[in-house]
Structure 1
Amino acid sequence: MEETQLMQIIAQSGTAQSLCQEALNCFQQQQLETGLNKVHQAQTCLKAAQKVHGELLQEFAQENSTETNLLLIHAEDHLTAAETIYALMDNFKVIYQQLEGKK
């Protein structure tokens, strides 16, 4: 397990969370296109974090390793939070698109 991989998960997940918050702010200000762009960027960051996480899981499985550390737990916490926030934001996106269509 590389420390740089864990930091990538933390950084990408944190960026995804921030972009989701920015998207919500855009939606609230009726800037739908900008918000949709932020959601797309968040999805890209989240996929990057998930890819690194998947690679780590494969390494663990191949090495039959049970090694864990605080940084790994922290990285997985960030990833889980980002996935949750993204899922909520994706639902908000649909609601705001529907509201925009009714104007």
Structure 2
Amino acid sequence: MDYQETIMGIIVNGGNARSKSMEAISEAKEGNYDQARKKIDEAAQDLAKAHRVQTDLIQGEARGENTDVTLLMVHAQDHLMNAMTVKDMANEFIALYEKNDTSCKK
């Protein structure tokens, strides 16, 4: 796999994780908490894939393999960090929606 394809792995998986996290918020907003948590789990799997690619690049650089910092790489890192933040926030939204859902209270 060449460098650009590797970077695209971070972008694609990060983007998928962000989208699934946003879907999780929408599900929670509708009171579908089990589905929201399922989407969060799926987002976590996508983030793990992106993180593995990132880790491989970091380990390669630590071994002395030269890694060019391109605009595409910066974009990939931005995508990944935003996806991680959105997933964290989605978890908070789910908890808040669930806490405030009077139909769940006993």
TM-score, with length taken from structure 1:
0.89
- Return the alpha-carbon distance in structure 2 between the equivalents of residues 93 and 26 of structure 1: 9
- Specify the alignment match of 2:39 in structure 1: 38
- Return the alpha-carbon distance in structure 2 between the equivalents of residues 66 and 8 of structure 1: 16
- Specify the alignment match of 1:52 in structure 2: 53
Q: Which runs of 5+ in 2 are unaligned?
A: none
CA deviation map 1:17-68 (0-9, x unaligned):
1001111111111111111110110011011111110110111111253521
Q: How does 1:1-103 map to 2 (within 5 A)?
A: 2-63=3-64, 65=66, 67-100=68-101, 101-102=104-105
- Return the alpha-carbon distance in structure 2 between the equivalents of residues 91 and 51 of structure 1: 25
**Shift of the alpha carbon at 1:99?**
3.9
Residue correspondences, number: 103
- Return the alpha-carbon distance in structure 2 between the equivalents of residues 13 and 66 of structure 1: 20
User: Percent same amino acid at aligned positions?
Assistant: 29
- Return the alpha-carbon distance in structure 1 between the equivalents of residues 58 and 100 of structure 2: 41
